[in-house]
Structure 1
């Protein structure tokens, strides 16, 4: 029997916490202008879960939302302002990797990058397994 994986995380102040269960889908990085402005970083790392697989467990409940496009809203903590991810109209919650308690977990490792052309030329993004040491 396969054990269902549970991932946990939360915002900077701890008011918003979550648990996401099941396989992490589409781990990727993105350098589009919307992601850059939402996160304040040149590249954002994401992973997706079905909406029903994400439970908001902290005392603050669910995150605040900002409608950022015709198909998605950006999620953030109203207390500390932490970027948490995006809630798409399709029943998907995309969480940024930096809010996970264990962001280095192997199944959260990005395997693709979108909007590479939107990054500054001096900013290099690598996805996938790192080269072997030695």
Structure 2
């Protein structure tokens, strides 16, 4: 069973996610943009039961961002960790994974593309 590790900038919040990653995607929705201060975020989902908070800070602090989701972040350094939905999954930000895990996690789709800037495709073109 594959295992992935990651955490926040200061290292207080750490996680271990086991199993098959699901729905690796990029999202440009307005909530993701506001959550990150960026134009897009990259996520991957794991079963809630497969994500274990291993750092001295325990689980991330949560901010209820919508009717069905809370955003997780480190209360010390402010790093965004992911979204803990009312669904049975946890969506972790690809940028929060350790570099050893990151190469195997690659977005396969892009959600809310109408919310991305018009110039977005131009910078990604070969």
- Which residue pairs with 1:120 in the alignment? 117
Alignment size in residue pairs: 123
Distance 1:101 1:29 in 2: 18
Greater helix share, 1 or 2?
Answer: 2
State the secondary structure of the residue aligned to 2:102. coil
- Which residue pairs with 2:8 in the alignment? 11
The correspondence for 2:96, drawn from 85, 96, 99, is: 99
**Following TM superposition, where does structure 1 have runs of at least 4 consecutive aligned residues deviating by more than 4 angstroms?**
none
User: What TM-score, normalized by structure 1, do the two folds share?
Assistant: 0.88
Instruction: Give the RMSD, CA atoms, in angstroms.
Output: 1.4
- Which residue pairs with 1:29 in the alignment? 26
For structure 1, the 5+ residue unaligned runs are: none
Shift of 1:105: 2.2
User: What TM-score, normalized by structure 2, do the two folds share?
Assistant: 0.93
Distance 1:9 1:92 in 2: 17
> Which structure has the bigger radius of gyration?
1
- Which residue pairs with 2:63 in the alignment? 66
For structure 2, the 5+ residue unaligned runs are: none
